Structures are given as C-alpha cells and as structure tokens.
Amino acid sequence: MKFSEIVSQLGDIVTDHSLNANQNHDPDITALAAIDEATAGNLSYVEGPKFGSWVGKTNASALILPQDKTLQTQAQERNIVWIATKEPRLLFAKAIALYYQPYRPSPEIHPTAVIHPTAEIGSDVYIGPHVVIQPRVKVGNGAIIHPNVVIYPDVTIGDRTTLHANCTIHERSQIGADCVIHSGVVIGAEGFGYVPTRTGWVKMEQSGYTVLEDRVEVGSNSAIDRPAVGETRIGRDTIIDNLVQIGHGCKIGFGCAIAGQSGMAGGVKIGNRVILAGQTGIVNQVKIGDGAIASAQAGIHNDVAPGEIVSGTPAIPHKLYLKVCAIYNRLPEIYKLVKQFQRQEQK
C-alpha cells in the first residue's frame, strides 16, 4: 500500500503529513512494526517526546509523529515520510486495521454442533464444530460461536457477538451486542457463596444472573460469577484482560479497564471509566468512584473516592504512597541512626 493511500484512509485524525512538502516521496508500506524493530517498508509511531530519540535511530520508512516540528524535521532529514496527529497511538491502531482484520468465519452451522430444538438462532450466524447449545438459548444475528463452546439453558447472546473456542456461558446469562468473549472464559458460573455452621459449610444456591452490556470484551481464562440473588453486571464498553476474577454480585460501570490477574470479591461496586492495573485486589462490598485508578498490585480494603488514584497494600492515595516508598528505600539508613541513638542512651 502506498503511503499516500494510508494518509487518505486515516481521515480527519491526520493533522499534517510529509506529502504536503514532497508529493513525489511516496514509498510502498508493506507492514507495521514497533519502532525499535522496524525495517525498510515498515510504518511505526512515536507517541511523544519521551521516545523522540528513536526518530534518529529507527529503520522505519514511515512514522506517525506527534505535532512536534522538531521531530518532523528530523524525520524529513532522514528521508522518512511522516504523518502528524494529536494522538499517535490511536492513529497507529487505526493503521493496523488497514493491514489486518481478525479471522471471521463465513456463516454456517457445523454438522457436529449440538443445538437444542428450542434454541433460537439468528441469521448469518457461524456455529463451529462441537458447540453445545442447550434449551431456550437465543443467539443474535451475525454472532460467531467458535468450536467447543458450551452454552447453558436460557442464555441470550446479542447480535455480532463473538464467543471464542472453549468458553462456557452458564444458565440465564445475558450477553449484549458486539461483545467479544475469549477462549477459556467462564461467564455466569456459581458465585462463592457458603454459610459457615458448626457442622461445616452450607452452600447458598446462586440463583442470580450475570449480565454483560454491549461491547464488553473479556480476556482469556477470566471468570465472572453469578450471585445468590440479583445480578452481576458489567457495563458497556468495559474491557477485561486475561485471568481476571469478578465475584458474585459485582457491579461494574461503563468504559472501565481491568488488567490481568485482578480480582474482586462479591458485591464490589465500581463506577464508570475506572482503571484497575494488574493484580489489583478488592475486598467484598467496596465501592470505587467514577474515574478512579488503582495502580498495579493495589490491595483495596476501603472505598475509593471518584477520581482518586490509589497504590499499595493496603491501598492509600498515590501521592502518599510515593512518600512512603521514599522512606522505605531509606530504612537501612534510618535503622542505623536508631541504633546509634540507642547506644548513646545506654551510655
């Protein structure tokens, strides 16, 4: 694909480009690559000044750059064509879509699929080998169900939703439109509900529902449990990484991002546009306000206010956490001082 074709297809997000100065320098771009691995014919990107030194070192033929005249001039001096934008990473994501689209099978129902007669299957649906669809399931138009998926009774799958191989959707779960459920995910399994007695644990049946709103994506081997009563709900446009545990009765707002190995106990309530970095742990019944951020390995034991950034275990405000870390690094020195004071007092 010619560089000029890429520029024309990326649209209004492009604010400037090297073709405005030299229309004749229009190389073929054959692939995209990270800037430290790019070779001739590759398109890469620089997100900001922090990575600006790569403009002088990369072997890429084309770059997506921030609105930085210095970097643009440097690229031009190295005979690298460039595109300028306010959001280089977003533009790079759009450029990848010009070269790659995920595998999407043509509509068909494989003869080895087991589909109960009461199931309702929409139009233009793909159902792969050895899929099991149990009674009263509803599958929307354009859905894709890859091999070995098991769907329990009374589940609803929205239009154009993709269920990747070997995921399991338990009874009465509701999955919205344009969702992506990756391999190994379990949605709507029983929550961890038991009552302690003198003679042992008594199981509390989990009669509730699990609901995923539209455009939710769930990474491989994650689990979202159903509650004893009521529902576990994941808001629209929320993205969930691999190996995430969401306990029974949790409520997660829209536009959230939950990174890998995070886990939350039952009844957690998370607002809109919350970010949980990797290995965040949240105890039961905690409330996290809109726009809050938890850094990696945060252990959240108490409510978090809207917009607050927390770090550490137990989690504390991030600015305080940085001060604590600075003191922690000085502990050997502080310990020596304490020992000196103790010896002086003994004298």
* Residues carrying an active site annotation: 248
Give the β-pairing of 200-203 and 194-197. antiparallel
Closest C-alpha to 100, from 43, 160, 53: 43
Task: Say what angle helices 3-10 and 88-99 make with each other, to 10 degrees.
Answer: 110
Q: How many CB atoms lie within 10 A of CB 228?
A: 15
DSSP-assigned letters across all residues of 20-59: GT-TT---B--EE--TTT--TTEEEE--SGGGGGGGGT--
Report CA-CA distances (Å) from 312 to 274, 293, 296, 304, 317: 17, 12, 8, 13, 9
Residue 96 CA to residue 81 CA, distance in Å, equals 17
- Compute the half-sphere exposure of residue 192: CA atoms within 13 Å on the CB side of its CA: 11
